[in-house]
A and B are shown apart, each in its own frame.
Chain A
């Protein structure tokens, strides 16, 4: 009894929960089984604390009788039930059509020999299997007053009552009302019908009132509209007439006016144009930000620190993700917005921004023409004219950008088409630019870019990315020409830069590709021959372009770092056999210096090479106090490559810039000229040493680095009395020597191990945390599989039990039937016997 009480108590606890579900059938408290928990565990979700074993069992049995039992009973039957109803399972045919087809089929079947003698044509019409004639009898009573204006439309309830055989109504009641069963039963048919009538009447009333109010409202709206219209347009009379004639105004016109009103309301005051000063200020701020960014990347280490930062959370942290370190407020400026829109287009060139503004203007114009319908034709003409003007203007601007063109070219240029498709292959690209002047080539490139701006079409991005590669290849080809077209390259760098700004990833990939090719070639040559030669001018130009496109001061950069490595190999692996090699080497030295000019990084190869250059400019003798390293040798063939012995040449020499074309071919043959080139190289070397000295001044071992260079310069003293030379030497010697002993960074005190609990976010209780996502998924799958397997086994077991039960009951039934029959037989026999005996007795008596 105590157990029963306990259960009762628990059901009471459970009950409110069930009640809360809102109208769900209250379970019989004696059917509820509660799995009592011994301890309450916080946060654990319990699923199976309350169960209804009886209900679920009966459900399961029902289901089995419907499925398993059926199967069992039909286990030895091979007959198949065939549904021959026409189109029963064909979803393609609509129900109406299906009905019609069935009907025709039926008619055809009936129209056989049977009906030949059927004289009266009419057949019995049915609905839901009932003859219509019978239903009609009932119809007389309902809806006598049929003055409703909506003929043919019957209320839902009515139709349900009429055609649903009354069942629908009953069902509805049962479901919605949840009235007592007792009340529902005694309602007779008549009452029901009366109720229905009342309801329909009420409905009609309501409909009428609704219509009236709607009419009133529209009238009122019309009046209001008239008032407003007088204010806006001077066509009131017409509109009034229209209003009078047709109750509702034409929807399209009305809509249009309303929408226009809406548009006008939304118009906002445009932003004020910015003054020049403001623009300049913004530009400055932008540049400052970029510079700060560059410095951060240059130091390189900060990045890692920044990356680590989020992992450390101080106690005072409010966990609102607010970090004071960095000012991440957006700067409110035009440029910034453009940047964000354009997807990292750091530095929109002027042409592009101009173009965008043009686009905006065009849009404005379009909007204008849309707004005033009255002056549609004229304004449209104007607008188109405007557009044309604008276009013209932009073209003018373009031509201005492209600098002054000589008049002859003007004529030729006018033949250039205004739109260009992006060339698909390098050959088509080359043929596009072949035979054009520099200016024309630039214009063509610019137009290609504009016509195929990525915002205009989907595929344009990939196309323009390809264009970058083509342009690079073209520049390389120009540089490898016998007479390198360096002026053209000089100009082509601009569109290259613009493209690079648009697609940094693609640009970096193609530059990297070129560098990799070059390095790969060199590695192969070294493997085969054991030494390499300097590459052509094109590679040098590529390296220079790299410095123009990418920031060379970064600690690590995907393009610049490999370029550094490649240049280092150039300076250490390539043999120096000719004057051209020296010039190329010095060019690479210049590149190195330029690369590190901001970051002031130390380049040992650079110093080594300059030392070597000084070495080969001295007469052959034993090197003292210094050692030249690869590719220069203390003894060998190519010494004295830069040695100038002729006093006359020394005197006649004037400082000149080295033309880059000497790199590819050295046509001068006279010794004087060659000597002059040598002297220029030497002067360049001196200047580079000077620059190195000022660059590396701050390095702690500056003097050790420069020591051999100083020795060599001192040897030069007898041969030169030139300002270049003296300034270089002075630069070296004026540096202060200052050594402070090194001290290690203080070790951070290792914090004591604390046994504070490690706090981990718990996603689900009772599950093992940790592991990768994949692992977790795997575990979950295993768990699911296990659960399903268990369930399936249980189901099968229960099925078997059910079958066994049914078989047992069958056997019992059969047995009992047999027993009964036997009993009957025995009984009948006994009566027979009895009767026979009685007869016998009677006879005996008789």
Chain B
């Protein structure tokens, strides 16, 4: 086949090439047509067709890499069919169609380090082009596809890990190994260009969930993510909770200074924290953030008070976790013990001094209050919760409770535990039954009737 820059078909026919060259040029043109139609077929309706065309194209990529169509000007230059790969990536990322199946099929090629590198580059390019075209309008399907393609990317940890190449080219391997940093840089660039644009909420959450363990560690400059994370943290709700994890890594490992971090954390506490899916993650981080013994007492007291106030609406599995959590806070910050023990306090207050609506923990007057909420929870219907709450009545032991096992507690686990308990004997109701709603002062009898249809 013709190697080197391809002349136009008509020109070549007219030009002064030999017959063999002409044939080669013609072949090259047919090959180009073939690639073009295969790229078109990537958008076909049937999945089999798509899959087949994808595989064929990838085969072409491999062959072209082995037998480059570009003239090698000097030994050791990079000869990878970037153009062809770009075509594949464009085909993989349709704008208004979900192509996650095809993408998952494509994942096997991403194992090869060279392909991964060039795909990353192609994706970055692609995002730039598409976003420019659509003028910042969010494209849910497109973003979904991009996320599906780039989220499972497995970056190598060390340079020596990079050994798997689709095409064994001595110079290329050499080059890439030197370009380990470049690899990372490409990766970083891709993510940044992806996250630069506005994301739908679901995708936002997904990105944040994988951020801390599959994106941040592979970036040359994780601090570039600060903007993204701060914005996410400011959004509120579950997104903020999830952004916390990334922020924590930045604060912890990259010396990020976050103004009013605790204030923000404080404002994150709302009734939904006990009900959302990411409860375990949030409390794990909150435990970390509040473990410092250098925090001022008013801050910790405000946290304790707010957590316990919110606990009044929490389900038992969350309560079983949060009560030991509060106990641990008391142990770390003995100055806060006034919340449970105020021997000479003012008698007969008519209001709780704590101001729930106050945004700033410093002005919530938490230290003047007492933990009446936990006292209320001592009357909780779940025996274990009641017992746990009763612990605060006594002076606490020195050793902290381990709450890591309680973080992931689910309601069904709790139920199962209760059902499996063996009872020695079963107490029985001694009131003689008089019917389904026959009890004295039965609430049901007041509001429900057994008869079906004659009413109404």
Name the one of A677, A701, A739 contacting B349, with C-beta atoms under 8 angstroms.
A739
* B449-A659 in contact (CB<8A): yes
Write the nearest CB–CB distance from B74 to chain A, whole angstroms. Answer: 59
Residues of the B chain whose Cβ atoms lie less than 8 Å from the Cβ of A519: 412, 415-416, 419
Name the one of A483, A607, A740 contacting B452, with C-beta atoms under 8 angstroms.
A483
Residues of the B chain whose Cβ atoms lie less than 8 Å from the Cβ of A508: 423, 426
A561-B382, A657-B447, A691-B443 given; A705·B312 CB < 8 A: yes
Interface code B434-456, partner A: CB below 8 Å = 1, 0 otherwise? 01111101111011111111011
Q: How far is B343's CA from A569's CA once the two chains are assembled, in angstroms?
A: 39
Q: How far is B11's CA from A512's CA once the two chains are assembled, in angstroms?
A: 87
Judge whether A494 is part of the interface by a CB distance below 8 angstroms: yes
Considering the complex, which residues of chain B in the window 369-418 have a beta carbon less than 8 Å from any beta carbon of chain A? 370-373, 375-377, 379-383, 386, 393-395, 411-412, 414-416, 418
Judge whether B350 is part of the interface by a CB distance below 8 angstroms: yes
Q: How far is B94's CA from A170's CA once the two chains are assembled, in angstroms?
A: 125
Q: How far is B200's CA from A188's CA once the two chains are assembled, in angstroms?
A: 132
Residues of the A chain whose Cβ atoms lie less than 8 Å from the Cβ of B372: 700-701, 704, 739, 742
Name the one of A346, A629, A668, A747 contacting B395, with C-beta atoms under 8 angstroms.
A747
- The stretch of B41-49, B267-275, B284-292 that contacts the partner chain: B267-275
* B450-A487 in contact (CB<8A): yes
* A608-B453 in contact (CB<8A): no
Write the nearest CB–CB distance from A699 to chain B, whole angstroms. Answer: 4
* A590-B411 in contact (CB<8A): no
A550-B428, A604-B314 given; A687·B447 CB < 8 A: yes
Write the nearest CB–CB distance from A305 to chain B, whole angstroms. Answer: 13
Judge whether B352 is part of the interface by a CB distance below 8 angstroms: yes
Q: How far is B232's CA from A655's CA once the two chains are assembled, in angstroms?
A: 50
Q: How far is B274's CA from A604's CA once the two chains are assembled, in angstroms?
A: 12
Interface code A693-714, partner B: CB below 8 Å = 1, 0 otherwise? 0000001111111000000000
Residues of the B chain whose Cβ atoms lie less than 8 Å from the Cβ of A701: 312, 352, 372-373, 375-376
Interface code A481-514, partner B: CB below 8 Å = 1, 0 otherwise? 0011011011101101100110011011000100
Q: How far is B374's CA from A173's CA once the two chains are assembled, in angstroms?
A: 94
A657-B455, A673-B456 given; A608·B448 CB < 8 A: no
* A556-B383 in contact (CB<8A): yes
* A297-B427 in contact (CB<8A): yes
Q: Could you give 5 example pairs across A and B, Cβ below 8 Å?
A: A562-B415, A630-B272, A687-B447, A700-B372, A705-B376
* A604-B313 in contact (CB<8A): yes
* A600-B429 in contact (CB<8A): no
Chain B at the A interface: SS class: loop
Given contacts A484-B452, A629-B275, A657-B448, 11 further A-B contacts (CB under 8 A): A550-B427, A566-B415, A586-B447, A604-B311, A604-B313, A661-B452, A680-B447, A701-B373, A741-B349, A745-B394, A745-B395
Judge whether A737 is part of the interface by a CB distance below 8 angstroms: yes
Judge whether B316 is part of the interface by a CB distance below 8 angstroms: yes
Judge whether B347 is part of the interface by a CB distance below 8 angstroms: yes
* A558-B450 in contact (CB<8A): no
Residues of the A chain whose Cβ atoms lie less than 8 Å from the Cβ of B386: 300, 555, 601
Residues of A within 8 A of B (CB): 287, 290, 293-294, 297, 300, 344, 346-347, 349, 483-484, 486-487, 489-491, 493-494, 496-497, 500-501, 504-505, 507-508, 512, 515-516, 519-520, 522-523, 526, 541, 544-545, 548-551, 554-559, 561-562, 564-566, 568-569, 572-573, 586-587, 590, 593-597, 599-605, 607-608, 627, 629-630, 656-661, 668, 673, 676-677, 680, 684, 687-688, 691, 699-705, 737-745, 747
Closest 8 CB pairs of A and B: A741-B345, A661-B452, A558-B423, A700-B372, A486-B450, A741-B342, A504-B426, A601-B381
Name the one of A297, A300, A742 contacting B375, with C-beta atoms under 8 angstroms.
A742
A550-B429, A551-B429 given; A660·B312 CB < 8 A: no
A500-B428, A565-B411 given; A493·B433 CB < 8 A: yes
Residues of the B chain whose Cβ atoms lie less than 8 Å from the Cβ of A491: 435
A608-B313, A743-B342 given; A684·B447 CB < 8 A: yes
Residues of the A chain whose Cβ atoms lie less than 8 Å from the Cβ of B393: 744-745
* A660-B351 in contact (CB<8A): no
Write the nearest CB–CB distance from A616 to chain B, whole angstroms. Answer: 17
Name, among B270, B309, B342, B419, the residue most crowded by chain A CB atoms within 10 Å (CB to CB).
B419
Residues of B within 8 A of A (CB): 270-272, 274-275, 309, 311-316, 339-343, 345-352, 356, 370-373, 375-377, 379-383, 386, 393-395, 411-412, 414-416, 418-419, 421-423, 425-430, 432-433, 435-439, 441-444, 446-453, 455-456
Q: How far is B372's CA from A18's CA once the two chains are assembled, in angstroms?
A: 81
* B447-A558 in contact (CB<8A): no
* A561-B383 in contact (CB<8A): yes
Q: How far is B356's CA from A661's CA once the two chains are assembled, in angstroms?
A: 43
Residues of the A chain whose Cβ atoms lie less than 8 Å from the Cβ of B446: 657, 687
Write the nearest CB–CB distance from B315 to chain A, whole angstroms. Answer: 5
Q: How far is B451's CA from A489's CA once the two chains are assembled, in angstroms?
A: 11
Residues of the A chain whose Cβ atoms lie less than 8 Å from the Cβ of B429: 497, 548-551
Name the one of B352, B423, B430, B452 contacting A347, with C-beta atoms under 8 angstroms.
B430
Residues of the B chain whose Cβ atoms lie less than 8 Å from the Cβ of A627: 270-272
Write the nearest CB–CB distance from B374 to chain A, whole angstroms. Answer: 9
CB nearest to A564 among chain B residues: B381
A691-B443, A701-B376 given; A659·B452 CB < 8 A: yes
Q: How far is B435's CA from A541's CA once the two chains are assembled, in angstroms?
A: 12
Q: How far is B427's CA from A550's CA once the two chains are assembled, in angstroms?
A: 7
A508-B426, A573-B411, A701-B372 given; A744·B456 CB < 8 A: no
* A668-B427 in contact (CB<8A): no
A705-B376, A744-B393 given; A738·B348 CB < 8 A: yes
* A659-B428 in contact (CB<8A): no
* B347-A740 in contact (CB<8A): yes
A519-B415, A550-B429, A594-B443 given; A704·B309 CB < 8 A: yes
Q: How far is B314's CA from A544's CA once the two chains are assembled, in angstroms?
A: 24
A548-B429, A705-B312 given; A660·B449 CB < 8 A: yes
* B451-A493 in contact (CB<8A): no
Q: How far is B133's CA from A630's CA once the two chains are assembled, in angstroms?
A: 41
Residues of the A chain whose Cβ atoms lie less than 8 Å from the Cβ of B394: 744-745, 747
Residues of the A chain whose Cβ atoms lie less than 8 Å from the Cβ of B451: 486-487, 659
* B380-A742 in contact (CB<8A): no
Name the one of A287, A573, A608, A677 contacting B430, with C-beta atoms under 8 angstroms.
A287
* A515-B419 in contact (CB<8A): yes
Q: How far is B352's CA from A699's CA once the two chains are assembled, in angstroms?
A: 14
Residues of the B chain whose Cβ atoms lie less than 8 Å from the Cβ of A740: 345, 347-349
Write the nearest CB–CB distance from A671 to chain B, whole angstroms. Answer: 14
Residues of the B chain whose Cβ atoms lie less than 8 Å from the Cβ of A561: 382-383, 418
Residues of the A chain whose Cβ atoms lie less than 8 Å from the Cβ of B447: 586, 590, 657-658, 680, 684, 687
A741-B345, A741-B346, A742-B371 given; A600·B379 CB < 8 A: yes
Q: How far is B414's CA from A573's CA once the two chains are assembled, in angstroms?
A: 14
Residues of the B chain whose Cβ atoms lie less than 8 Å from the Cβ of A515: 419
Name the one of A555, A568, A594, A747 contacting B315, with C-beta atoms under 8 angstroms.
A568
Name, among B348, B350, B448, the residue most crowded by chain A CB atoms within 10 Å (CB to CB).
B448
Write the nearest CB–CB distance from A92 to chain B, whole angstroms. Answer: 54
CB nearest to B345 among chain A residues: A741
* B316-A565 in contact (CB<8A): yes
Q: How far is B437's CA from A491's CA once the two chains are assembled, in angstroms?
A: 11
CB nearest to A520 among chain B residues: B412
Residues of the B chain whose Cβ atoms lie less than 8 Å from the Cβ of A555: 383, 386
Residues of the B chain whose Cβ atoms lie less than 8 Å from the Cβ of A747: 394-395
Residues of the A chain whose Cβ atoms lie less than 8 Å from the Cβ of B456: 656, 659, 668, 673, 676-677
* A602-B381 in contact (CB<8A): yes
Write the nearest CB–CB distance from B342 to chain A, whole angstroms. Answer: 4
CB nearest to A607 among chain B residues: B313
Write the nearest CB–CB distance from A339 to chain B, whole angstroms. Answer: 11
* A742-B341 in contact (CB<8A): yes
Q: How far is B456's CA from A508's CA once the two chains are assembled, in angstroms?
A: 38
Write the nearest CB–CB distance from A340 to chain B, whole angstroms. Answer: 15
CB nearest to B344 among chain A residues: A741
